[in-house]
Chain A
Amino acid sequence: MAQRPGLAKGADRSLGADGCKADSMTETVVPATIVPTRTDLFLGYAKAGLFGFGGVAAWARRIIVEERRWLTEREYAEVLGLGQVLPGPNVGNAAVMVGRRFHGFTGALCTSAGLYIGPLCILLLLAAFYEAYGQVPRIGALMQGIAAAAAGMVIGTAIKMGSRLKAPPEMVALGLLAAVAAFWWRVPLPLIILGLGPIGIFCAYRRQSSVAAR
């Protein structure tokens, strides 16, 4: 890794080892960020992909901000925020933008390839296993148990996200309406987004301007 000289080794260790300490340090000291090479980009994102069980968001932030210091906490939050507004996978979008920021098109290819290739290989192995043994009753039952738990994982994530938002009542209503439309009424996703999206954005905009006016 192309590390900038003059970076104290002790500081390095405390940053990597302890997340809380890293946060307090970024407040007080302006952290020196490091410009990664294309190989660094690939390897950093490969690590995030392979370590990220149940989603890679937490690992990507940890590696980019704390471990390798390509971006400051604030810079990464901005990139991720933009990735959330755009359609498609949030962290994947952020990976494209991080890669582009340092090395343009090839940088974006390196981060994306790093993020997806390792996990894809593991998935193929698992798929081959499932193909061979999925019809065995005991394995089928085992997979059914994991599916039941995975469903709960997704539902729990939705509840957690929803309760953290502290959304005003009209936003809660919109979210629930989207859920009902998608699950019970089987409304196609494009119609839900085109129908409820503008309403949501309008409500958020009105809230924003009323807060600004106060």
Chain B
Amino acid sequence: MVWGLFVVFATISLIAVGGATSSLNEIHRQLVENRGWLDDRTFGQLFALAQAAPGPNVLAVSLFGYWIAGLPGLAASTAGMLLPAGTLAFVIGGLAQRLKGHPALKAINGGLVPLAVGLILAGGITIAETAAVHGWGWIAMTVASAAFVWRTNYSPLWMLACGAVLGLIIG
């Protein structure tokens, strides 16, 4: 299982275009649907826990790994997600001076960013689904939080706090 975690995340690491959040939907597909290592509810709550903590968003992966297989799982999933991409970044970093402003690089970025945005949206809906089964109040919370993040520049932590309060009231 520990090795399985490493393989799953090492694969995702190399295809996660435009950041870690864009692979959230794929992580759910692998861990919840294909392998049944987590249930929907736990997946959503662990992701929420990672969002409430400081640090790079990618660390939600570490938490999934920890929940599935303890500290070895944490090490395997974190290493899987960080090492392949990090190695690639290290190698490419050496060519950075030659690559900067290269038209091909601009085209690759321009072509992949819309995909990344679509994938992030899919990941968000996946998490929303894990919460929405519990009723309309949660859906309203998700919509309000999306609008808040989209239309304002305040810290999204305010919305997480609102969600916690709402949970205590209607839960």
Contacts and interface: CB of A to CB of B under 8 A. Distances in A.
Contacts of B131: 144, 147-148, 151
Interface string B16-47: 11111101111001000100000001001111
Given A126-B49, A201-B108, 7 more contacts: A90-B18, A93-B86, A112-B86, A123-B53, A161-B117, A182-B25, A197-B115
How many residues of B sit at the interface, in one of the four size bands? 35 or more
B93 interface: yes
B147 A96 contact: no
B156 interface: yes
A19 interface: no
B146 A53 contact: no
A129 to B, nearest CB: 9
Contact of A85 (B112, B119, B141): B112
Interface of B: 11-21, 23-26, 29, 33, 41, 44-59, 62-63, 66-67, 74, 78, 81-82, 84-86, 88-90, 92-94, 96, 99-101, 103-128, 130-132, 134, 138-139, 141-150, 155-157, 159-160, 162-168, 170-171
Contact of A89 (B19, B50, B108): B19
Given A92-B56, A151-B124, A153-B159, A85 B108 contact: yes
A87 B44 contact: no
Interface string A129-159: 0100010011011111111111111111111
Contacts of B58: 88-89, 92
Contacts of B139: 148
28 contacts: A52-B55, A53-B53, A55-B56, A78-B96, A86-B88, A87-B14, A92-B85, A92-B89, A97-B90, A101-B93, A115-B56, A123-B62, A123-B63, A146-B52, A150-B52, A152-B146, A153-B145, A154-B124, A156-B148, A159-B121, A174-B118, A176-B118, A182-B122, A182-B123, A188-B26, A197-B17, A197-B111, A200-B112
Q: Counting chain B CB atoms within 10 Å of each CB, which of A145, A148, A172 scores highest?
A: A148
A96 B118 contact: no
A197 B155 contact: no
Which secondary structure characterizes the binding site on chain A? helix
Interface of A: 49-56, 78-79, 81-94, 96-97, 100-101, 105, 108, 112, 115-116, 118-120, 122-124, 126-127, 130, 134, 137-138, 140-163, 165, 167, 171-172, 174-180, 182-183, 186, 188-190, 192-193, 196-205, 207-208
B15 A153 contact: no
A85 B105 contact: yes
Contacts of A157: 21, 120, 124, 149
Contact of B17 (A87, A108, A119, A183): A87
A113 to B, nearest CB: 11
B160 A175 contact: no
Given A124-B66, A183-B125, A196-B115, A149 B142 contact: yes
A16 to B, nearest CB: 20
B85 A89 contact: yes
A116 B59 CA distance: 8
B103 to A, nearest CB: 6
Given A148-B138, A152-B146, A201 B118 contact: no
Given A116-B56, A149-B163, A160 B150 contact: yes
